[in-house]
Structure 1
């Protein structure tokens, strides 16, 4: 069933976390992966409105957790970008594809590192095999993102330690050939510089 008004009602039920309404729509034959004009699915709509019970219900009902909207959001990437730890955990458990990209070409750990979401970075490096050395469209690894776009504070320092502990390559340069160590020095982030030096950066 692809009727736009039916899809809209289904997505509104997801936004409200109305599980009974979601059940009724599915019983009436609504495609669980139906999308609106923004290519947003019910499970993404529920995730973006913090309706985790509805997210869980839709996972159990067979929703595709990897479908991305026109801004590249799916529940997992939305959670990584916005610091939604429980949502991220749910999506990892649901078998989300860790290689899907944000609109800037990063994987989930890339924006989480940039934005200082320590708990999410810790979850990703300790419970998944996500690529900690993934390079995005502008040639930045999660480590470089954490240095260039962070404030050099404790959260970023913790994230950089976590990345290093879990296999991040401290020698991978940006697209101009500049090392993470040099980038940290340019920003005046002495603590991060020291962490990198301890890890053998040059």
Structure 2
């Protein structure tokens, strides 16, 4: 069944967290990975509406957790960008692909570093093997992202320490050849400068 109205009803049930309705649709043969015009699946719709019980139900029912919509969101990347720790944990447990990219070419840890989501960064570096040195489309690593797009405050400092503790390369430059240390100095982030110097940055 790929009837648009049926798919729409299935996605609405996901948005509402209506597990009984989801069950009924699946029993009637709806494709669990059916998508709307924005390429959004039921599990992504449930995730974006904070309906974690519905997300869990759909994972158990065999939904593909990695399918991305037209803006590159899937439940994992949506959670990383928006600071949804429980959702991120669920997706890690469900075996989500950690290498899928956001629309800016980052992996999940990239926007989490930029936005100061300390808990998400901690979860990713301690429970997964996500690439802490991944370079996005503009040539920035998660470390550079945390420096350039952050405010230099405590959250960013904590994130940078976590990245360093878990193997981030403090010497990886941006696409113009500028080091993280130089970027921190240009921003006037003296605390971050200290952290980088202690880690052997030059």
Offset, 1:120? 0.2
Runs (4+) of structure 1 moved beyond 6 Å?
A: none
Offset, 1:83? 0.0
CA distance in structure 2 between the partners assigned to 1:197 and 1:190 by the alignment: 10
Partner SS, residue 103 of structure 2: coil
CA distance in structure 1 between the partners assigned to 2:164 and 2:113 by the alignment: 12
Q: Deviation digits for residues 136-174 of structure 1, max 9, x if unmatched?
A: 000000000000000000000000000000000000000
CA distance in structure 2 between the partners assigned to 1:26 and 1:146 by the alignment: 42
Offset, 1:46? 0.1
CA distance in structure 2 between the partners assigned to 1:2 and 1:160 by the alignment: 46
TM-score by length of 1: 1.00
Alignment size in residue pairs: 202
CA distance in structure 1 between the partners assigned to 2:197 and 2:115 by the alignment: 23
CA distance in structure 1 between the partners assigned to 2:168 and 2:115 by the alignment: 18
Residue aligning to 1:111: 111
CA distance in structure 1 between the partners assigned to 2:182 and 2:162 by the alignment: 20
CA distance in structure 2 between the partners assigned to 1:191 and 1:7 by the alignment: 51
Partner SS, residue 37 of structure 2: coil
Q: Deviation digits for residues 111-135 of structure 1, max 9, x if unmatched?
A: 0000000000000000000000000
Offset, 1:13? 0.1
5+ long unaligned stretches in structure 1: none
Offset, 1:12? 0.1
Residue aligning to 2:67: 67
Offset, 1:34? 0.0
Offset, 1:54? 0.1
Offset, 1:101? 0.0
Offset, 1:51? 0.0
TM-score by length of 2: 1.00
CA distance in structure 1 between the partners assigned to 2:6 and 2:149 by the alignment: 42
5+ long unaligned stretches in structure 2: none
CA distance in structure 2 between the partners assigned to 1:48 and 1:131 by the alignment: 25
CA distance in structure 2 between the partners assigned to 1:28 and 1:2 by the alignment: 11
